[in-house]
């Protein structure tokens, strides 16, 4: 057993013991019987609540190398009254795949909208895992076009990458950027299996776009990596940006994309485009 595996099993054992100790019988609907020498539930009580054998649960809590299934782990999580964050942590410690259960948000908090404006002159927007754009700032509108002019079903970052003439003509290395966007979308959508919006978007784009068909058929999957983009703007010239991805801790299904100008010249050109006072003013 390598060191990382040993650490994972040790943390699993410590996590389960701590969560069991934090619960009292009445917390899970049990009637206390007799005096208890130590606080918390007993192992057999957790095993009974989860519908597993005492031996199996004991070995799990000891961090032994035993066979587990997602269904059984979920039963243990329910028995220990784990919330969503704790449940995902438990599954990771147990070596099981983690599937996001939180529904993708479909609205943006006003504070987050205000943040987009605070980021000017950097173009910035908020999108869902399906790449539906929920909010954007004036920098995004001036550089990439106004999503508000599109039908709601096409107010989508991936759809705009494929079909917006403005983005196609302004974004240098458009083909590479588009394929990378599709690969990141595949990785994000996999966190929400069966999501009807993701499935509908794939069906529409597969039918309408040869670029999407080719990229989707390659099964390329990528996590987000901070990268540089160059954009040619008709009135102020070329700007260079560093593309960042942020996620609100309280709404992790929302994705904030920021195109931060990475040179003083690019920042000044974006300020001119937006008719903002220069930074030195």
pLDDT for 251:
84
The yes-or-no verdict on residue 157 having pLDDT over 60 is: yes
1 — pLDDT class (breaks 50, 70, 90): low
Residue partners of 89: CB distance under 8 A and separation at least 6: 15
The answer to whether residue 260 scores a pLDDT higher than 80 is yes
Q: What is the pTM of this model?
A: 0.71
pLDDT band at 24 (very low <50, low <70, confident <90, very high): confident
Cβ neighbors of 69 (< 8 A, separation 6 or more) are none
**Which pLDDT tens digit goes with each residue over 223-235?**
899 999 999 999 9
Model confidence at 11, pLDDT cuts 50, 70, 90, reads confident
Round to whole Å and give the CA distance between 178 and 68.
39
Report whether 19 contacts 82 (CB < 8 A): yes
| pLDDT tens-digit readout, 71-105 | 899 999 999 998 876 887 888 888 877 665 555 56
- Domains for the chain: give ranges and CATH numbers: 3-93 (1.10.260.40), 110-273 (3.30.450.180)
- Residue 30 pLDDT more than 60? yes
* Mean pLDDT of the 205-210 span: 96
* Span 32-56, average pLDDT: 84
Give me the chain's average pLDDT, please: 89
The answer to whether the CB of 198 falls within 8 A of the CB of 130 is yes
pLDDT above 80: residue 193: no
Mean pLDDT is lowest, of 160-164, 214-218, 239-243, for: 214-218
Q: What's the pLDDT tens digit per position in 107-155?
A: 788 999 999 999 999 999 999 999 999 999 999 999 999 999 999 999 9
């Amino acid at each position: 057993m390598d060191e990382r595996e040993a650490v994972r099993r040790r943390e699993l054992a410590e996590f389960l013991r701590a969560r069991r100790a934090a619960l009292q019988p009445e917390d899970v609907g049990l009637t206390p019987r007799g005096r208890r020498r130590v606080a918390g539930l007993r192992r057999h009580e957790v095993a009974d609540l989860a519908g597993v054998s005492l031996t199996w649960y004991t070995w799990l809590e000891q961090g032994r190398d035993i066979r587990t299934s997602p269904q059984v782990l979920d039963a243990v999580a329910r028995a220990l009254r784990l919330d969503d964050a704790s449940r995902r942590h438990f599954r990771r410690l147990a070596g099981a795949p983690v599937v996001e259960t939180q529904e993708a948000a479909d609205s943006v908090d006003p504070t987050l909208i205000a943040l987009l404006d605070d980021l000017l002159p950097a173009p910035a927007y908020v999108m869902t895992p399906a790449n539906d754009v929920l909010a954007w700032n004036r920098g995004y509108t001036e550089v990439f076009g106004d999503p508000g002019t599109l039908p709601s079903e096409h107010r989508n970052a991936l759809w705009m990458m494929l079909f917006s003439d403005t983005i196609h003509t302004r974004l240098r290395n458009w083909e590479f950027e588009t394929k990378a966007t599709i690969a990141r979308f595949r990785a994000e959508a996999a966190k929400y299996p069966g999501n009807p919006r993701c499935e509908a978007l794939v069906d529409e784009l597969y039918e309408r776009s040869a670029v999407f068909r080719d990229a989707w058929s390659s099964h390329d999957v990528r996590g987000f990596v901070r990268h540089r983009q160059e954009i040619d703007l008709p009135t102020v010239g070329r700007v260079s940006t560093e593309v960042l991805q942020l996620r609100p801790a309280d709404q992790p299904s929302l994705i904030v994309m920021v195109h931060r100008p990475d040179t003083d010249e690019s920042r000044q050109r974006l300020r001119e485009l937006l008719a903002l006072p220069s930074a030195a003013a």
